[in-house]
Amino acid sequence: MSFHIIIVGAGSAGCVLANRLSANPATRVCLVEAGPPDRNPLIHMPLGLALLARNRAINWGFATEPDPALNSRRLYWPRGRVLGGSSSINAMIYMRGHPDDYRAWAAAVGPAWDWPRVRQIFLDHEGNTALADAHHGTSGPLAVSNLRQVNPLSRAFVQAGVECQLHDNPDFNGARQDGVGIYQVTQRDGRRFSSARAFLDPVRARPNLTILTGVQVQRVLFSGHQASGVRLGDRDLALAPGGEVILCGGAVNSPQMLLLSGIGPGAQLQAMGLPVLHDAPEVGRNLADHLDITVQAAASRAAIGLAPSFVPRALRAAIAYARHGAGELTSNVAEAGGFALSDPTRDRPNLQFHFIPAYIHDHGRRTAWGYGLTLHVCDLLPKSRGTISLASPDPLAPPRIAANYLSHPDDLPTLLAGFKLARRIVRSPALAPHVRRETLPGPGVQSDADLIADIRARAETIYHPVGTCRMGLDDRSVVDPAGKVRGVNGLRVIDASIMPQIIAGNTNAPVMMLAENIARMMLDPSA
Ligand SMILES: Cc1cc2nc3c(=O)[nH]c(=O)nc-3n(C[C@H](O)[C@H](O)[C@H](O)COP(=O)(O)OP(=O)(O)OC[C@H]3O[C@@H](n4cnc5c(N)ncnc54)[C@H](O)[C@@H]3O)c2cc1C
Q: What is the mean pLDDT of the segment spanning 453-468?
A: 98
pLDDT (tens digit per residue) in 30-40? 999 999 999 99
Q: How many CB atoms lie within 10 A of CB 34?
A: 20
Establish whether residue 508 lines the binding site of ligand 1, counting it when its CB lies within 6 angstroms of any ligand atom.
yes
CA 498–ligand 1 middle distance (angstroms): 13
Establish whether residue 78 lines the binding site of ligand 1, counting it when its CB lies within 6 angstroms of any ligand atom.
yes
pLDDT (tens digit per residue) in 59-98? 999 999 999 999 999 999 999 999 999 999 999 999 999 9
Establish whether residue 109 lines the binding site of ligand 1, counting it when its CB lies within 6 angstroms of any ligand atom.
no
From the CA of 508, give the closest atom in ligand 1.
11
Give percent above pLDDT 90 in the chain. Answer: 97
CA 507–ligand 1 middle distance (angstroms): 9
Establish whether residue 6 lines the binding site of ligand 1, counting it when its CB lies within 6 angstroms of any ligand atom.
no
Nearest CA to ligand 1 atom 37: 249
User: Crossing angle, helix 448-458 and helix 411-426, to 10 degrees?
Assistant: 100
Residue 408 is a catalytic residue: no
pLDDT at position 223, please? Answer: 97
Cα separation, 93 vs 44, in Å, equals: 15
pLDDT interval class at 527 (50, 70, 90) = confident
Q: Are strands 179-182 and 142-144 parallel, antiparallel or unpaired?
A: unpaired
pLDDT at position 138, please? Answer: 98
Establish whether residue 81 lines the binding site of ligand 1, counting it when its CB lies within 6 angstroms of any ligand atom.
yes
Nearest CA to ligand 1 atom 50: 90
Q: How many CB atoms lie within 10 A of CB 155?
A: 16
Cα separation, 261 vs 276, in Å, equals: 8
pLDDT (tens digit per residue) in 495-508? 999 999 999 999 99
pLDDT at position 233, please? Answer: 85
From the CA of 52, give the closest atom in ligand 1.
1
C-alpha dist (Å) from residue 219 to 26, 58, 59, 248, 438: 26, 21, 20, 13, 49
End-to-end CA distance of the chain: 32
pLDDT interval class at 141 (50, 70, 90) = very high
Query: What does pTM read for this prediction?
Result: 0.98
pLDDT at position 368, please? Answer: 87
Helix (H) / strand (E) containing 132: none
